[in-house]
């Protein structure tokens, strides 16, 4: 069974690791470049993207992460992790960088302080019934998507909150804090597909 990495610099990586283990995956916490050599997939957790970015650069992980993702490593980013994956970050802090993998623009903290956190039931056709109970915590929104990007879920007002592009998956919300792990299962299916294709 392939091992799945969880980027463990900052944020709620323990919650993701627990979900992946519950689904039967072997998990490796990724903190150093050589951890990436051992994994067949990677989850980038929620947290604070500006801090995660700084730590990734300080630990020499930014380039290895970019290279692994460009090489086809299936990668799932939630919330801050989605921001890390995005090519274009709006409202980042001065000098904030990202991994530049997913052809989207995301706006950080897009729901403002009044509605910083909320929960909503989302229809996600690729996951089937019932709707996914989605928890948003100071969440970003996807404000534009390139041609290669498939939208997996939007709010009722049309704002995009889940996307896929090749082996990349991103959600503005946090499935790891609910008990509905269909997004992680969907991701693991992709990891296993890619690993067994060779």
Q: What are the residue numbers of the active site? A: 79, 174, 176
The stretch among 31-39, 43-51, 69-77, 158-166 that binds ligand GLN (CB under 6 A) is 43-51
Nearer to ligand GLN, 98 or 167 (CB): 98
Q: What is the 3-state secondary structure (H, E, C) of 85-147?
A: HEEEEECCCCCCCCCCCEEEEEECCCCCCCCCEEEEEECCHHHCCCCEEEEEECCCEEEEECC
From CA 180, how far away is CA 132, in angstroms rounded? Answer: 7
Tokens of 104: 């989207």
Give the contact letters, 127-146, x = binds to ligand GLN (CB under 6 A), - = no: ----------xx--------
Is 79 a binder of ligand GLN (CB under 6 A)? yes
From CA 29, how far away is CA 83, in angstroms rounded? Answer: 20
Is 47 a binder of ligand GLN (CB under 6 A)? yes
Is 77 a binder of ligand GLN (CB under 6 A)? no
Is 41 a binder of ligand GLN (CB under 6 A)? no
Neighbouring-strand partners of residue 160: 142, 154
The stretch among 17-25, 40-48, 56-64, 146-154 that binds ligand GLN (CB under 6 A) is 40-48
Cβ within 8 Å of residue 193, ≥6 positions away: none
From CA 95, how far away is CA 107, in angstroms rounded? Answer: 15
Determine if residue 87 is labeled as part of a ligand binding site: no
Is 48 a binder of ligand GLN (CB under 6 A)? yes
- Where along the sequence are the contacts to ligand GLN (CB under 6 A)? 46-49, 79-80, 83, 108-109, 137-138
Detail the residues annotated as belonging to a binding site for L-glutamine.
47-49, 108, 137-138
């Amino acid at each position: 069974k392939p091992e799945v990495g969880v980027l463990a610099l900052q944020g709620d990586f323990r919650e993701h690791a627990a979900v992946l283990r519950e689904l039967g995956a072997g998990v490796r916490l990724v903190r150093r470049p050589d951890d990436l050599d051992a994994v067949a997939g990677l989850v980038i957790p929620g947290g604070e993207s500006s801090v995660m970015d700084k730590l990734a650069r300080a630990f020499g992980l930014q380039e290895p992460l970019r290279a692994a993702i460009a090489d086809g490593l299936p990668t799932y980013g939630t919330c801050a992790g989605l921001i890390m994956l995005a090519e274009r970050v709006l409202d980042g802090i001065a000098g904030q960088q990202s991994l530049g993998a997913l052809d989207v623009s995301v706006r950080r903290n897009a729901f403002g302080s009044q509605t910083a956190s909320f929960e909503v039931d989302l229809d996600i056709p690729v996951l089937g019934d019932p709707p996914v109970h989605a928890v948003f915590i100071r969440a970003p929104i996807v404000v534009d998507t390139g041609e290669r990007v498939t939208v997996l879920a939007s709010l009722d007002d049309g704002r995009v909150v889940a996307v896929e592009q090749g082996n990349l998956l991103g959600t503005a919300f946090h499935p790891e804090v609910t008990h509905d792990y269909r997004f992680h299962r969907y991701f693991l299916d992709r990891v296993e597909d890619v690993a067994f294709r060779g």
